[in-house]
């Protein structure tokens, strides 16, 4: 399953701009996948793994 930037923003209660800031600036944040022109998504499994790592690091 794939999530859009809007879905990620809703999931983490942040703006879409924050999602993209994480993508550009945090090397541990999962990389986006371009499915087609104008359609960029993140794999849910990679997002869940990143979430788990964030909880364990805290």
- Does residue 58 have a pLDDT over 90? no
39-43, strands of its sheet edge to edge: 2-3, 39-43, 33-36
Residue-level pLDDT at 15: 98
Residue-level pLDDT at 55: 92
Taking each helix axis from N to C terminus, what angle separates 16-25 and 5-12, rounded to the nearest 10 degrees? Answer: 100
Higher-pLDDT residue of 22 and 58 is 22
Per residue in 5-52, pLDDT (tens digit) is 999 999 999 999 999 999 999 899 999 999 999 999 999 999 999 999
Quote the CA–CA distance of 53 and 57 in Å, as a whole number.
6
| Domain span holding position 23 | 2-57
Are the C-beta atoms of residues 18 and 27 closer than 8 Å to each other?
A: no
Please tell me the pTM assigned to this model: 0.88
State the maximum Cα–Cα separation within the chain, in Å, rounded to a whole number. Answer: 37
Residue-level pLDDT at 44: 98
- How many domains, in total, are found in the chain? 1
């Amino acid at each position: 399953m794939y999530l859009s930037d809007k879905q990620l923003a809703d999931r983490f209660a942040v703006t879409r701009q924050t999602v993209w800031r994480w993508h550009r600036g945090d090397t541990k944040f999962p990389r986006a996948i371009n499915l087609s022109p104008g359609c960029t998504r993140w794999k849910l499994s990679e997002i869940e793994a990143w979430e788990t790592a964030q909880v364990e690091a805290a």
